[in-house]
Protein backbone atom coordinates (compact mmCIF):
# COMPACT_ATOMS: atom_id res chain seq x y z
CA UNK A 1 0.00 0.00 0.00
CA UNK A 2 2.55 2.58 1.13
CA UNK A 3 5.78 1.80 -0.53
CA UNK A 4 8.94 3.70 0.21
CA UNK A 5 11.65 3.70 -2.40
CA UNK A 6 14.66 1.78 -1.21
CA UNK A 7 17.42 4.16 -0.31
CA UNK A 8 20.67 3.48 -2.05
CA UNK A 9 23.31 2.61 0.52
CA UNK A 10 26.45 4.71 0.09
CA UNK A 11 29.58 2.85 -0.81
CA UNK A 12 32.41 3.03 1.77
CA UNK A 13 34.56 5.06 -0.61
CA UNK A 14 31.79 7.58 -1.21
CA UNK A 15 30.90 8.00 2.47
CA UNK A 16 34.49 8.57 3.61
CA UNK A 17 35.30 10.96 0.78
CA UNK A 18 32.46 13.25 1.87
CA UNK A 19 33.91 13.68 5.35
CA UNK A 20 37.05 15.83 5.59
CA UNK A 21 40.18 14.01 6.76
CA UNK A 22 40.53 16.34 9.76
CA UNK A 23 37.06 15.37 10.99
CA UNK A 24 37.68 11.64 10.45
CA UNK A 25 41.01 11.80 12.33
CA UNK A 26 39.55 13.77 15.22
CA UNK A 27 36.56 11.48 15.65
CA UNK A 28 38.34 8.17 16.20
CA UNK A 29 41.51 7.59 18.26
CA UNK A 30 44.26 5.23 17.18
CA UNK A 31 44.62 2.26 19.53
CA UNK A 32 47.54 0.06 20.49
CA UNK A 33 45.66 -3.06 21.64
CA UNK A 34 46.33 -4.89 24.90
CA UNK A 35 47.95 -7.85 23.12
CA UNK A 36 50.23 -5.63 21.04
CA UNK A 37 53.84 -4.51 21.56
CA UNK A 38 55.18 -1.69 19.42
CA UNK A 39 58.96 -1.33 19.14
CA UNK A 40 59.58 2.06 17.59
CA UNK A 41 58.36 5.63 17.64
CA UNK A 42 54.71 6.66 17.31
CA UNK A 43 53.60 9.97 15.76
CA UNK A 44 50.07 11.25 15.27
CA UNK A 45 48.23 14.55 14.91
CA UNK A 46 45.27 13.05 16.76
CA UNK A 47 44.42 10.99 19.80
CA UNK A 48 46.16 7.71 20.67
CA UNK A 49 45.09 5.15 23.30
CA UNK A 50 47.72 2.72 24.53
CA UNK A 51 46.36 -0.52 25.97
CA UNK A 52 49.47 -2.60 25.23
CA UNK A 53 53.21 -1.87 25.31
CA UNK A 54 55.19 0.80 23.46
CA UNK A 55 59.00 0.67 23.46
CA UNK A 56 59.86 3.98 21.84
CA UNK A 57 59.10 7.68 21.78
CA UNK A 58 55.57 9.01 21.30
CA UNK A 59 54.62 12.39 19.77
CA UNK A 60 50.84 12.91 19.59
CA UNK A 61 48.14 15.48 20.30
CA UNK A 62 46.28 13.51 23.01
CA UNK A 63 47.61 10.35 24.71
CA UNK A 64 45.76 7.99 27.04
CA UNK A 65 47.78 5.21 28.69
CA UNK A 66 45.41 2.56 30.04
CA UNK A 67 45.77 0.83 33.40
CA UNK A 68 47.45 -2.32 32.04
CA UNK A 69 49.56 -0.42 29.48
CA UNK A 70 53.29 0.29 29.57
CA UNK A 71 55.38 2.93 27.80
CA UNK A 72 59.19 3.06 27.79
CA UNK A 73 60.35 6.22 26.07
CA UNK A 74 59.80 9.94 25.78
CA UNK A 75 56.27 11.31 25.44
CA UNK A 76 55.53 14.68 23.82
CA UNK A 77 51.87 15.69 23.63
CA UNK A 78 49.32 18.38 24.31
CA UNK A 79 47.38 16.25 26.81
CA UNK A 80 48.47 13.07 28.58
CA UNK A 81 46.43 10.86 30.90
CA UNK A 82 48.39 8.08 32.58
CA UNK A 83 46.58 5.16 34.22
CA UNK A 84 49.34 2.61 33.59
CA UNK A 85 53.16 2.70 33.58
CA UNK A 86 55.55 5.18 32.02
CA UNK A 87 59.34 4.88 32.21
CA UNK A 88 60.68 8.02 30.58
CA UNK A 89 60.10 11.74 30.26
CA UNK A 90 56.73 13.36 29.59
CA UNK A 91 56.59 16.82 28.05
CA UNK A 92 53.01 18.06 27.73
CA UNK A 93 50.75 21.02 28.33
CA UNK A 94 48.39 18.99 30.54
CA UNK A 95 49.36 15.83 32.46
CA UNK A 96 47.02 13.73 34.61
CA UNK A 97 48.37 10.85 36.70
CA UNK A 98 45.50 8.72 38.01
CA UNK A 99 45.57 6.65 41.19
CA UNK A 100 46.76 3.57 39.24
CA UNK A 101 49.59 5.41 37.45
CA UNK A 102 53.23 4.45 37.89
CA UNK A 103 55.42 7.27 36.55
CA UNK A 104 59.21 6.93 36.65
CA UNK A 105 60.83 9.88 34.94
CA UNK A 106 60.70 13.64 34.62
CA UNK A 107 57.52 15.52 33.76
CA UNK A 108 57.54 18.95 32.09
CA UNK A 109 54.04 20.43 32.17
CA UNK A 110 51.85 23.53 32.26
CA UNK A 111 49.02 21.82 34.16
CA UNK A 112 49.60 18.79 36.41
CA UNK A 113 47.08 16.65 38.31
CA UNK A 114 48.18 13.73 40.49
CA UNK A 115 45.52 11.58 42.13
CA UNK A 116 46.09 10.01 45.54
CA UNK A 117 47.70 6.59 45.17
CA UNK A 118 49.74 7.37 42.05
CA UNK A 119 53.38 6.25 42.22
CA UNK A 120 55.64 9.06 41.06
CA UNK A 121 59.42 9.15 40.90
CA UNK A 122 61.25 11.93 39.13
CA UNK A 123 61.34 15.68 38.76
CA UNK A 124 58.26 17.68 37.90
CA UNK A 125 58.82 21.05 36.27
CA UNK A 126 56.29 23.58 35.14
CA UNK A 127 56.69 24.94 31.62
CA UNK A 128 55.73 28.60 31.56
CA UNK A 129 54.17 30.22 28.52
CA UNK A 130 57.47 32.09 27.94
CA UNK A 131 59.53 28.89 28.06
CA UNK A 132 57.13 27.09 25.69
CA UNK A 133 58.60 28.98 22.71
CA UNK A 134 61.97 27.36 23.47
CA UNK A 135 60.34 23.94 23.76
CA UNK A 136 58.63 24.33 20.37
CA UNK A 137 61.94 24.34 18.47
CA UNK A 138 63.17 21.15 20.13
CA UNK A 139 59.89 19.22 20.06
CA UNK A 140 57.99 19.43 16.74
CA UNK A 141 54.82 17.88 18.19
CA UNK A 142 54.49 20.81 20.60
CA UNK A 143 55.02 23.30 17.74
CA UNK A 144 51.96 21.99 15.91
CA UNK A 145 49.63 22.92 18.78
Per the domain annotation, does 73 fall within a domain? yes
C-alpha span between 59 and 136 (Å, rounded): 13
Q: Provide the domain limits for residue 95.
A: 29-143
SS3 110: strand
Per the domain annotation, does 139 fall within a domain? yes
Per the domain annotation, does 1 fall within a domain? no
pLDDT tens profile 26-53: 568 999 999 999 999 999 999 999 999 9
Half-sphere exposure of 29 (CA within 13 A, CB side): 14
Per the domain annotation, does 54 fall within a domain? yes
User: For the chain, what is the domain count?
Assistant: 1
Per the domain annotation, does 17 fall within a domain? no
Over residues 57-63, mean pLDDT: 97
Amino acid sequence: MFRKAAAKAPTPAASTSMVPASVRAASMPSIVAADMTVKGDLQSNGEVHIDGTVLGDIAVQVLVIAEQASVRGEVVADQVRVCGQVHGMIRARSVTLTSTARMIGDVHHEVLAIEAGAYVEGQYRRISADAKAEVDTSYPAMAAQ
